[in-house]
Structure 1
């Protein structure tokens, strides 16, 4: 799964890396992005790529209660093209969720050890995501979920699931504005190759989403 991550790059780095044509309104860095918070995402509106904030935790357009979002921070890529909550979104509401590392907790004899995981060959990257708009009376929400898959060889030692990180040359293809059949989006995700990762232990301080400073990413010795 993917339940916490970081975004520490400055705005100009992001604009350059993702070839954006506009500034990012209200951009903020974060050492500890958690479900329920607003997260930076990129979509294609049919004319250009646009960056903005979506709330993390998908609330499908047909949902009766927005609280469902807390149960839908992740979507399994293996079945998303079949599930009612995600099927239509796989066809037409795909997004990039911008990050520069993510956290995962490894089970040890001493308890769960948080680790910070980064790509070895580049700083910024994008999770494959889905988004939707929910409206009820005059209240509207734009929300998203991170697509996940079985862990690769590197991640398997830490956790059995992992977020899908798009190769750089596949990011624009994922959010291209043309509608697709859900199975086509599924096949696209299945065809992706993994990049190399590195990971290190960080303090249990990161366990609380209230903590959001450089202490979250300080390396600590392995136990």
Structure 2
């Protein structure tokens, strides 16, 4: 089956409000309308200091576990299946101790039809940004002692209203769930309740052109509609 959540969009318009609300700072940028795995983007982490509950770190979108011998793309590590978070050697410790939130403007998905795959842009219907559940880790290069910070996006079975696009979806968090996901003390059963097929906010699904299919292409042309969009209501 095709991989899920392999391309998304980060632009300052929706992300600025999120960074001001959670971090009291401007969105650092840069804008990228066509983020692909192995790109560097910003993630949000929780902090123990209650005066500044969140911090932001730029990280590579392709998890490299701390125990890995080297940086590798041999195995697909840009997504983490919710069903195997506590079974996978790469994900079980980050799931318990190193959870992150990845704020994005929206993501792309390709609907498979009889003759081709049709790209769609999926974005929040009302909220400023889409908050994705992620896991992160740090890997130390044994040759030069440099630290690589990386992350993966958690995915689950797709909620019924968007299953026509793909059989899986990224785990989206509601605004009030960000603190729950990032809190080190959150009960594991509550965490599992977040990583299930649901839509915490409405979505707008926009058909776009094949231009976005080439990860070297960028700019607003990636999200230009080529047909009518439709709204998907929240699903708890």
Please give the TM-score of this superposition, normalised by the length of structure 2.
Answer: 0.85
Counterpart-to-counterpart distance in 2, 1:38 and 1:23:
18
- CA positional deviation for 1:193: 5.3
- CA positional deviation for 1:191: 8.9
Query: Partner of 1:87 in structure 2?
Result: 92
**Are residues 67 and 181 of structure 1, via their aligned partners in 2, closer, same or farther at CA, if it must alter by over 3 Å?**
farther
| Pairing of 1:36-75 with structure 2 (within 5 A) | 36-47=38-49, 48-68=53-73, 71-75=76-80
- CA positional deviation for 1:39: 1.5
Q: Does 1:15 align with 2:19?
A: yes
Deviation by residue 1:22-49 (Cα, 9 ceiling, x = unmatched)? 4555x21111111000011000121130
Query: Partner of 1:147 in structure 2?
Result: 154
- CA contact 1:39–1:53 (8 Å) conserved in 2: yes
Q: Which runs of 4+ in 1 moved over 6 A?
A: none
Q: How many residues align?
A: 219
Please give the TM-score of this superposition, normalised by the length of structure 1.
Answer: 0.90
Name stretches of at least 5 consecutive residues in structure 2 with no aligned partner.
229-236
Query: Partner of 1:109 in structure 2?
Result: 114
Partner SS state of residue 106, structure 1: strand
Partner SS state of residue 172, structure 2: coil
Name stretches of at least 5 consecutive residues in structure 1 with no aligned partner.
none
Query: Partner of 1:35 in structure 2?
Result: 37
**Are residues 190 and 111 of structure 1, via their aligned partners in 2, closer, same or farther at CA, if it must alter by over 3 Å?**
closer
Q: Does 1:219 align with 2:219?
A: no
RMSD: 2.1
